[in-house]
Copies of this chain bind each other. A is one copy, B any other.
């Protein structure tokens, strides 16, 4: 028994390079789709909307979503440029839910950033938000798909669209008052997608690389996964905009576009997995199981 094959890969990009289709009669696997992609299937990250969250264990790359939460993203950029997050910490890690960081820090005010913001929980669904629709039913939204590299729900009746709480998505914590989430404290989804949060809180971006540095943090033992003791807090060295870093210190990453035939083929490779391990194709793909692939630039 080749035990390395004993479970298939969720996302076997580590094996993708060099994979070629050896069976022209079947639909391509995801690895084959990636291997056959063209340079135009990829886009660079915009350094003005890319954050580097630096911890002792490494650098986490975050892509912001100004099309969906413009005021939150602007406020986060202001906070970052003030050095707001530098020296703050991750103070919450709740199993199968979120890791959270930033505020509270009562000694550090928002400076030039705003203390409250309008609730950017949905946006008007307009032609500037082209949506690559998934073909299958979703329980949380009449329509789901991808727009500009982010997982999205939408409702044709209300003409609303919103980012979806998939694994790795980042949001702005808030209190019961919907204006209280200003981006000074952020959370990332580390478990099964809590889609019931959709339309209740502002999502502001997603982790593009380094997710494992957040998702594998020890869980907090206090209520709601808060670290019970201050010494358990995980320090954040700094958060920087990529645009503020010297070019040589920026990550050279590209992300697969979500509005191309290649991405449609990737979705289909996830709907019905064709490698020899699978005996029953699902015939269905769920929004949060479609990977938005990133890789080093060639």
Contacts and interface: CB of A to CB of B under 8 A. Distances in A.
Residue of A2, A15, A270, A277 with most chain B CB atoms under a 10 A cut-off: A277
A217 B193 CA distance: 20
B103 A3 contact: yes
A289 interface: yes
Interface stretch (A74-82, A94-102, A257-265): A94-102
Q: Which 7 A-B pairs have the closest CB atoms?
A: A6-B173, A10-B97, A212-B219, A196-B282, A3-B104, A139-B284, A14-B223
B200 A286 contact: no
Interface of A: 1-12, 14-15, 93-98, 100, 103-104, 121, 136-140, 166-168, 173-176, 178, 180-181, 185, 187, 191-201, 211-212, 215-219, 222-224, 226, 270, 273, 276-280, 282, 284-286, 288-289
> This chain: how many copies in the complex?
2
A174 B3 CA distance: 8
B200 A279 contact: yes
Contacts of A192: 166-167, 191-193, 288-289
Contacts of A199: 279-280
A215 B94 CA distance: 11
A14 B95 CA distance: 13
SS class of chain A's interface: helix, strand, loop or mixed?
A: loop
Contacts of A136: 139
Given A95-B215, A289-B192, A289-B196, A187 B7 contact: yes
A178 B276 CA distance: 11
B174 A6 contact: yes
Given A174-B6, A192-B193, A139 B138 contact: yes
A137 B139 CA distance: 6
Contacts of A180: 1, 6
B178 A279 contact: yes
A251 to B, nearest CB: 18
Nearest to A281: B196
A137 B140 contact: no
A136 B138 CA distance: 10
A194 B223 CA distance: 28
Nearest to A278: B200
Given A192-B193, A224-B4, A224-B14, A212 B282 contact: no
